[in-house]
Structure 1
């Protein structure tokens, strides 16, 4: 099973974490299943940007994002070239290192 290394985040994962999840599991599901309560306002339906992560290692091993995800990412806080929506990133056989951005924008809650 691949390992997801989560870099420290002051709210969700202060000490950082390493967790394992089965291939085919989304990064968002893996985080939630391991006690990292990342926001996911749209219940992982690719309709918001609250589960935005930056893939620091392993980005090139991932399937390319769909157009819908790319359109949403344009609205994400702290967008970087390696940004993805964790609900759309399905684990393969390779390990990943992810960073949860310090802030998130909930467009529905914040009336954007």
Structure 2
């Protein structure tokens, strides 16, 4: 079972964490299953960017991003070459390290 190392984030995971999840699970599902309450405003339907993460290690082991995800990522705050929507990034057998960006664009949360 692969592990996900989550780098410290002041709101969602202040101390950082290391969790395990079965291959075939999305990073978002794994985080939520372990009480790391990453935003996911569209309920993991690949319709927003609130679950954006940067994969610091293990990026190549994840499934490839499809065109819809890539289009949405263009709107994400803090986009990097190894950015993924955690709801679309599916674990394989390799461990990964992720960083949750400091900000996300969530108009519902921001009362827009």
Q: Assess if the C-alpha contact under 8 Å between 1:49 and 1:72 holds in 2.
A: yes
| Residue segments in structure 1 that go unaligned for 5+ positions in a row | none
Partner SS, residue 97 of structure 1 = strand
Compute the displacement of 1:110 (Å): 5.3
Runs of 4+ in 1 over 2 A off after TM superposition: 107-112
After TM superposition, the score normalised by the length of structure 2 is: 0.95
After TM superposition, the score normalised by the length of structure 1 is: 0.95
Q: Assess if the C-alpha contact under 8 Å between 1:48 and 1:107 holds in 2.
A: no
Q: Determine the C-alpha separation between the residues in 1 that align with 2:108 and 2:45.
A: 14
| Residue segments in structure 2 that go unaligned for 5+ positions in a row | none
Post-superposition CA distance 1:26-56 (Å, at most 9, x none) = 0000000001000000000000000000000
Q: Identify if the C-alpha distance between structure 1 residues 107 and 68 changes in structure 2 by more than 3 Å, giving closer, same or farther.
A: farther
Q: Assess if the C-alpha contact under 8 Å between 1:53 and 1:85 holds in 2.
A: yes
Q: Indicate the residue corresponding to 2:98 in structure 1.
A: 98
Alignment of 1:1-112 (within 5 A): 1-107=1-107
Q: Determine the C-alpha separation between the residues in 1 that align with 2:73 and 2:50.
A: 10
Partner SS, residue 5 of structure 1 = strand
Q: Determine the C-alpha separation between the residues in 2 that align with 1:109 and 1:23.
A: 31
Partner SS, residue 37 of structure 1 = coil
Equivalent pairs, count: 112
Q: Identify if the C-alpha distance between structure 1 residues 66 and 107 changes in structure 2 by more than 3 Å, giving closer, same or farther.
A: farther
Q: Determine the C-alpha separation between the residues in 2 that align with 1:107 and 1:66.
A: 24
- RMSD between aligned alpha carbons? 1.4
